[in-house]
Amino acid sequence: MINRVVVLGSLNVDTTLHIDQMPKPGETISAKSKTNSAGGKGANQAVAAVRSGAVISFIGQVGDDGNGKFMIDALENDGINTDHVAVDKVEGTGSAVILLDSQGQNSIMVYGGANQAMKPAMMVDAEPLIENADILISEFETPQDVTYEAFKLAKQHGVTTILNPAPAAEIIDGLLEVTDLIVPNETESASLTGIEVTDNDSMDRNAEKFAQMGIDNLIITVGSRGAYYHTADGSGFVPAFKVKAKDTTAAGDTFIGAFSSKVNKDLSNVEEALTYAQQASSITVQRLGALPSIPTEKEINAEYK
């Protein structure tokens, strides 16, 4: 089975500054080197999914500039349908500055630009695309009201919706009611529920809180430890694969994209899909950059099978 996945999300050109350690407040430091690459949570997730065998279409927006063309070309180079990537004549293409230290940890500053200028009315033209999908993914680097409109259409057509609430923000009314699966990391989960993620018991309590909020299916990613899941069929924890990280940029996005390429619409194989997603992200963190670091299914299978 090949999943048809639509990603509604951000398109950013990433500038990564390679440094020894994070600067302290008021401190000026020198970067060892600088790299530019295609990125954005939406783009990362779409590329991760298509490289793992899914058929991908993208809904997003870029500026009328060179970076916009660069991002569209980057998606199309991976065989992603960009028919629903609009061009904004006012706002510039989204961008991000990433500080990457010698331990592989990062801090990211994002300029939303054209991503944040998207409007709910844009989803009218996208309905036929959504209707023919198996899975629709969105994050919080584009406006939530746009995601809400898209998810409502998805539910009308029996499409499974996956929400990645990153960066963490208060969720608008109604969005969780049309979300089938929410995938925060531990920090985002705690921000949304008020319950710190420290162990399995606290993750169970996060799941209970999300259920009270209207969402029964949950995955919490906890970095190098692994991922917790809770669905109608049960809950559990899938440990991460131990590797030495060079750059954690796009690791979480690789996880979600790879997961979406393998999970069944009814989430019945969630543990199997999570294991594959962990394998994919374990390769990503051993490489530099966002899109350039995301592995193919062939590379994942060669490493782990």
Query: Is 141 within the bounds of a domain?
Result: yes
Q: Which residues are annotated as a binding site for ATP?
A: 185, 221-226, 252-253
Q: How far is CA 75 from the centre of its chain?
A: 15
Least confident of 157-166, 241-250, 258-267: 241-250
What six digits make up the tokens of 6? Answer: 């639509």
Query: Is 174 within the bounds of a domain?
Result: yes
CB 278 within 8 A of CB 226: yes
Query: Is 16 within the bounds of a domain?
Result: no
pLDDT at 289 over 80: no
Q: pLDDT over 70 for what percent of the chain?
A: 100
CATH of the domain at 135: 3.40.1190.20
Confidence of residue 37 (pLDDT cuts 50, 70, 90): confident
Query: Is 300 within the bounds of a domain?
Result: yes
- Residue 169 CA to residue 167 CA, distance in Å, equals 6
pLDDT at 305 over 80: no
pLDDT mean over 184-202: 95
pLDDT at 271: 95
Confidence (pTM)? 0.93
Q: How far is CA 148 from the centre of its chain?
A: 17
pLDDT at 103: 85
Query: Is 147 within the bounds of a domain?
Result: yes
Q: pLDDT (tens digit, 9 = 90+) per residue, 51-62?
A: 999 999 999 999
pLDDT mean over 272-297: 92
Locate the DSSP E strands across 93-170: 94-100, 106-111, 135-139, 160-164
CB 181 within 8 A of CB 160: yes
pLDDT at 18 over 80: yes
Q: pLDDT (tens digit, 9 = 90+) per residue, 123-167?
A: 999 999 999 999 999 999 999 999 999 999 999 999 999 999 999
Confidence of residue 238 (pLDDT cuts 50, 70, 90): very high
Confidence of residue 224 (pLDDT cuts 50, 70, 90): confident
- Residue 60 CA to residue 72 CA, distance in Å, equals 10
**Of 63-67, 98-102, 108-112, 222-226, which has the strongest mean pLDDT?**
63-67
Query: Is 216 within the bounds of a domain?
Result: yes
Q: Which residues are annotated as a binding site for substrate?
A: 12-14, 40-44, 141, 253
Confidence of residue 106 (pLDDT cuts 50, 70, 90): confident
- Residue 32 CA to residue 25 CA, distance in Å, equals 19
pLDDT at 213: 94
Q: Which residues are annotated as a binding site?
A: 12-14, 40-44, 141, 185, 221-226, 247, 249, 252-253, 284, 287, 289, 293
Q: Which residues are annotated as a binding site for K(+)?
A: 247, 249, 284, 287, 289, 293
pLDDT at 110 over 90: no
The domain total for the chain is 1
Q: Which residues are catalytic?
A: 253
CB 142 within 8 A of CB 169: no
- Residue 12 has phi, psi (to 5 degrees) of -130, 145
Task: Decide: helix, strand or coil at residue 204.
Answer: helix
CB 201 within 8 A of CB 209: no
- What is the DSSP annotation of 248-269? -TTHHHHHHHHHHHHS-TT-TT
Integer angstrom CA distances of residue 201 from 62, 102, 192, 237 = 42, 33, 17, 12
CB 186 within 8 A of CB 168: no
Q: Could you tell me the residue range of the domain that residue 287 belongs to? A: 4-11+41-93+118-304
Contacts of residue 127, Cβ cutoff 8 Å, sequence gap at least 6: 153
Query: Is 113 within the bounds of a domain?
Result: no
Query: Is 87 within the bounds of a domain?
Result: yes
